[in-house]
Amino acid sequence: MSDVKLTGIAKSYGGSPVLTDITVDFPSGSFTSLLGPSGSGKTTLLRIIAGFITPEAGQVTIGGEDVTRIPVWARNIGMVFQSYALFPHMNVRDNVAFGLGRRGVKGAEAKRRVDEALEMVRLPGFAERLPKQLSGGQQQRVAMARAIVTGPKVLLLDEPLSALDRRLRQEMQVELLSLQREIGVTTIFVTHDQEEALTLSDQVAILDRGRIVQMGAPAAIYERPATRFAAEFLGDANFFAGLVEGGAITVAAHRISAPGLPEGREVTLAVRPEKISLDATHENQVRAKVLNAIYAGANLTYLMEGPGGQRLKVFAQNSDGVILPNGAEVTLSWPAAHTILVEG
């Protein structure tokens, strides 16, 4: 078991920075998601950890050993690629045994470990097939088996589930998680799917334009996003901006308060759509007009026009079968405790 530490990593292409001063700790045995939109640098970061890219500045250590200058083939990592990258001219056994062979494990010992790994990904009996004879989900499992069979110090996953359809993806998420728990390998997972990041990870790192804007446990990030970007990228959010006077801001004659507001400063507050109720039970209250109701069976999404013509999004449970008509005027309210102060 090894932890992975990045210190002050920087990388640029053609003068424009892709990663700036990245310092992160991936504890031993943890499952971390790198979450961000395309172009945020998450894949570059993963490839730096793998050793495909040498950073311009900073240090990568795996299990306490500085590997910054060590090439990828000597780092003892396991990696699963977006396309799986199974060798099309080798059967499943040869694919899985490839890394063992590079480490001098041959013959009966190699066979035993390949079979064991295929057992773990629930593909026993597929050893003699060629990759093109397997389904997408099965190829994905072979790629997993190939990456873990050598007992790597760290497992790197580059959007490995994005090629699968929704149902299979959810199934594979569960399997991936239980497999990771079973072998306990430090895992770093790149994704742009926020739901996937929340379900799988011990911790999530949100990247934006080459910087880690927030890192923490999924619930902590969701409930307390530090920046407007984090609030929007992970889940939905409504924003209010204003000057803090007397512990609250004023938006078109409505006062909105939140814990710990700095007096006399311009601030941005965020509220999750599901924290808002369609009545006046909480302390922060605004009047709003229904623009559109989107019906989705178990729940409803209202698009509303709030104070000052601001657009608001509200999630409601479909508990009483009532759908507010377009144009209806309602009072919305939410607790001050769920109003989050975010950076611009």
Partner 1 sequence: MKAFGRVYLCLLIFFLYLPIGVMIAMGFNASPYYQLPFEFSTRWWHELWQNAELLEAGKNSVIVAIIVTLIATPVGTAAAVALHRREFPGRNFLRVMLLPPIAIPWLITGTAMLVMFYWSGIGRGFHAMLIGHVALAIPYVVLVVSTGLQTIRQDLEEAAMSLGATPLFAFFRVTLPLLTPSIIGAALFAFAVSLDQFVISYFLATPGYTTLPVKIYSAIRKGFTPDINIISTVLLLASMALVLIYFIFSKFGAKDVRR
Partner 2 sequence: MSAGPATTAPALNMGGRRLPPWVATTALLLPAYGWLMIAIFLPLGAMFLFSFMTATPIGTKEIGYTFDQYKIFFTQPYMWQVASWTFQIAFATTLICAVTGFLAALALARSGLGRSQWVFLILILLPFWTNGLVRIFSWTMVIREGGFLDAVVQFILPEAASVGFLYSRPAIVLGLVHGYLPYMVLTCYIAISTIDDAIVEAAESLGARWWTILGRILIPMAAPGLIAGSVLIFVPVVGAFMEPRILGGPQGVTLGTVIEDSFTQGFNWPQGAALSFMLLAVVLAIFATFSGVLRRNAEL
Rule CB under 8 A: which residues touch partner 1? 50, 52, 71-74, 76-79, 81-83, 85-89, 98-99, 102-103, 132, 146-147, 150, 156
Q: Does 76 participate in binding partner 2 (rule CB under 8 A)?
A: yes
The closest alpha carbon to 231, from 313, 149, 120, 333, belongs to 313
C-alpha atoms less than 13 angstroms from C-alpha of 61 in its C-beta half-sphere:
13
Can you tell me the distance from the alpha carbon of 325 to that of 107, in angstroms, rounded to the nearest whole number?
72
Nearest-Å Rg of the Cα atoms of the chain is 24
Can you tell me the distance from the alpha carbon of 175 to that of 198, in angstroms, rounded to the nearest whole number?
16
Interface residue with partner 2 among 73, 87, 252, 291 (CB under 8 A) is 73
**Interacting partner of 106 out of partner 2, partner 1, none (Cβ under 5 to 8 A depending on kind):** none
Minimum CB–partner distance for residue 305 and partner 1 (Å): 48
Minimum CB–partner distance for residue 103 and partner 2 (Å): 5
Closest to partner 2 by CB, 61 vs 301, is 61
Minimum CB–partner distance for residue 55 and partner 2 (Å): 16
Query: x-or-dash pattern for partner 2, window 176-195, by CB under 8 A?
Result: ------xxxx----------
* C-alpha 148: how far from chain center: 22
DSSP strands (E only) in the chain: 4-13, 16-26, 31-35, 57-62, 65-66, 77-80, 154-158, 186-191, 203-208, 211-216, 238-243, 248-251, 254-257, 266-271, 284-296, 299-305, 311-317, 329-334, 340-342
**Interacting partner of 167 out of partner 2, partner 1, none (Cβ under 5 to 8 A depending on kind):** none
Q: Does 97 participate in binding partner 2 (rule CB under 8 A)?
A: no
Minimum CB–partner distance for residue 141 and partner 2 (Å): 14
Q: Which residues bind partner 2 (CB under 8 A)?
A: 69-71, 73-76, 103-105, 113, 116-117, 120, 148-151, 153, 182-185
